[in-house]
Every structure is written in C-alpha cells, then in structure tokens.
Amino acid sequence: MTSATISLNGLHVSFVGKLGGVNRREAAQLVRKHGGTPVDHRETTADLVVIGADELPLGDDEGLLDEATRQAAAEGKLEIISETQFWQCIGLVEGEQNIRRLYTPAMLAKLLDVSVATVRRWHRRKLIVPVREVHRLPYFDFQEVATARRLAQLLAAGASPVAIEKKLAELSRYLPDVERPIAQLSVIIEGKQLLLRQDEGLIEPSGQMRIDFDAIESQHVTSDEPQQQIISIQDQLEQRELVTPEDMIEYAGQLEDERQLEAAAEMYRAALAAGGPAPEVSFQLAEVLYRMGDLTAARERYYMAIELDEDYVEARANLGCVLAETGQPELAIAAFRGALQHHNDYPDVHYHLARILDDHDLQEDAEIHWKSFLDLAPDSPWADEARQRLAYEPELAAEYDS
C-alpha cells in the first residue's frame, strides 16, 4: 500500500491525533476524492489508520492507538502510517501548498524548544533534510518537523545525541535499504526507547523487544557541564588521526555536542588552517564563538563568511543579530537589508528587522516587514507576536487575525 501512489477505492481510512497539514474536514474530503471512506476506527473497522504529523505515538496514555488497533495492525488486518506517508502515497505533498509549511532552522528550534545548534547538527547528520535551500539557508517542511519532534522527544527524555545517532545507525544496519529510519519508518518513541513497527508487530532493530538508550549512556558518559580537562588540539589531532579538514570539522561538531565549546572553536580554527578559508566553517566557528559569549569574535567570523560568499544569507542575518546585541543598530539594519537583497523571502530577517525598526521608532517601515513576515510564515512560532503588533492597526487586525 505504501508504494509511490495508492488507490483508496474501497478502503476505510481513519485519522488519529492532530494533523499537521490540513484539518479533519479537509482530510476527509481528500479521502473521498481518492475513492476512500473516512471513518472513526474506534467505531468502524478501518483498513488504514493515519497518525497526524503533529503527534507522537507514545503509548496508551496518549490515547492515540488503543490496544485493539495495535493488535489488528500486528495481525495485518490494518495498516498504520504517518500523515506524511499518506500525503506522499496519494501524491499531494508536492502539489498542495496548504500542506507545505516551511521552517528555517531558527523557527524549528523555537518551535521545538531546542537550540539552533541542535537543529544544525540534525541537518549536518542528515537526520532532517531540507525541502529546499536558498543561498545555504535550509528550509524544512512539515514532514521534517514531525521527524524533528521525535528527535526532540528523545533529547527531552535524556538521550544524548551520540546515543540517538548510534541507535539510528543500528536501525540502518538492520534495514540497509532505508536511509533515514526515523523519518521513513513507523518508529514509536517511549521515553529513551525506540520501537519499530513492522507487519508482525513491534520490534527492536536488533530483533529484541526494546532499544534502551541507558545502556549506551553508560558507554558514552555525558554531563551537562563541560569537561574540565581539555586535551590539546595537537594531541587530539594525533590521537584521533584527524588528517583531513573534514575529519577536524566532524570532530568539532562532536565537541560542540559535549559542550566543549573552546575546544570546538580551536578545532574549527585548525580546519581553516589546514583547508584554507571556507564560508561554512567560518560560519560554524562564528556560531560557537557566539555561544561562548564572545560576540566580537563571532561578528568578525560572520563577516569573513560573507566575504567568502556574499550570498550566505544566514551569515548576514546572524551578523545583524550580533550587531544589534552589541549596540550597533544602524549596522544591524544594514546587515538585515543586505540579507533581504539576496533573499527577500527570508522570514526570520523580516521579523528581526521589524523588531529593530520598531525599537527605533520607525513604525511605518517596521509594519511593512511585520506584514511580509506573516505572509511568508503564518505558522511561525513568532507569528502571534506579529499579529499582536499589527492588531494595533484596526484595518490590519481582521486580515491577520487567526
């Protein structure tokens, strides 16, 4: 049933949980349009149960899937898929704009209450994949938001990034044809455990009943505090055989995860020394320096990234934020306007520019960017702030009232 496209002719389809792309009425209309019958699986036998993209099937306490439904799925009497898989199967993900809401890394971090650095790591590791990139700026659709929610759930439960990636690697070895198991498979998360839904029931990638991250945590001891003893960069290069700039960049990312920011910064510097100037590495170094609180050094590295690639719009945006924080509003406004010259549909920049213009009593100009921001990102975590700001103008209140 989960091939490129499916026919719903004669199938009873039930939706469970909160949908991420459309409302229930619209979903039911789409089912009927494709020959199926929308039903409530608790009252009528369903052939296909679709779990909403804004939900995680965490267990009975969530009330999403009752025991009878789980048992029927295990016996092959019905199939359970994600909302994203369903839209893909009926061929609507690429064609329907109302189910494609795009999020920048900053928006996604705000939505999930994780750091932007965490989102960037997921992106680098290809745990989440952007639907498009504009001048190095990734945009993620609702499918990737659902995947990111699962990753954030594991982090919130106490699983370290190393443990998460190790278990996902085990899933990939168990199913070599699946490149991104957490996005492509029916993976259920319970605390720090992963369960894989197959036709015969719930299994672990290893074939056992559960995957427990606690065992991995004991092998990869992590702490909320940076490690006190930092091995010299030269020792790290030798001990880990970090020969290429790519090796150094990879290890710098691991150091970031372990909150060894000073060591990570030095490793990025070593990568730049070994491989020569590179805009992406300069940007990553700037991000680490910013997290360390060294705004002056971060500013210079953002400048370097832009000098190396004038189209690097995320570097321009972050430079604007740093300039604003360091009391240079005129330069910040110039940086934001420069970013929009290269990518006028960058919602984050419209948001930050609108705020700084408001702060400097340039309300008329700010209003233009508040409106542009809402037009581009009506579902952004910052959208309510924009609506409240525009609501002060009576003629705009109705237009942007959700």
Tell me the CATH number for domain 12-99: 3.40.50.10190
Q: What mean pLDDT comes out for the span 7-12?
A: 84
Residue that wins the pLDDT comparison between 163 and 68: 68
Percent of the chain exceeding pLDDT 90 equals 30
pTM of the full structure: 0.61
- What band does 333 get if pLDDT is binned at 50, 70 and 90? very high
User: Could you report the per-residue pLDDT of 157-205, keeping only the tens digit for each?
Assistant: 777 666 766 666 665 555 555 555 454 444 444 454 544 444 444 445 4
Q: What beta strand segments (E) does 25-166 contain? A: 37-38, 48-51, 79-82, 132-134, 137-139
Q: How do strand 79-82 and strand 132-134 relate by DSSP bridges?
A: unpaired
∠ CA 216-213-105, nearest 5°, is: 105
Q: Which CATH number fits domain 105-219: 1.10.1660, 1.20.1050, 1.10.3470, 1.10.260?
A: 1.10.1660
d(CA 134, CA 349): 14
266, burial (CB in 10 Å: exposed 0-12, middle 13-18, buried 19+):
buried
Please give the Cα distance from 321 to 313 (Å, whole number): 13
Which neighbouring-strand residues pair with 257? none
Task: Check residue 71 and give its pLDDT.
Answer: 82
Query: 217: which residues sit within 8 A by CB, 6+ positions away?
Result: 158, 159, 160, 163
Please enumerate in sequence order all residues whose Cβ is within 8 A of that of 209, keeping only pairs 6 or more positions apart, or say none. Answer: 202, 203
Domain chopping of the chain, boundaries: 12-99, 105-219, 345-402
pLDDT, tens digit, 9 for 90 and up, residues 84-99: 677 767 765 443 344 4
Please determine, for residue 141, whether its predicted confidence score (pLDDT) is greater than 70.
yes
Round the average pLDDT of the chain to a whole number and report it.
76
Q: pLDDT at residue 400 above 50?
A: no
Is there a contact between 283 and 312 (Cβ–Cβ < 8 Å)?
yes
Between 117-121, 169-173, 256-260, 327-331, the lowest mean confidence (pLDDT) is in 169-173
CA of 239: how far to CAs of 20, 48, 236, 312, in Å?
47, 53, 5, 34
Token pair listed for 391: 């609501």
Contacts 24+ apart (CB under 8 A), 2-6: 2/79, 2/81, 2/85, 2/89, 3/89, 4/89, 4/91, 5/89, 5/90, 5/91, 6/89, 6/90
Strand pairing class (48-51; 37-38): unpaired
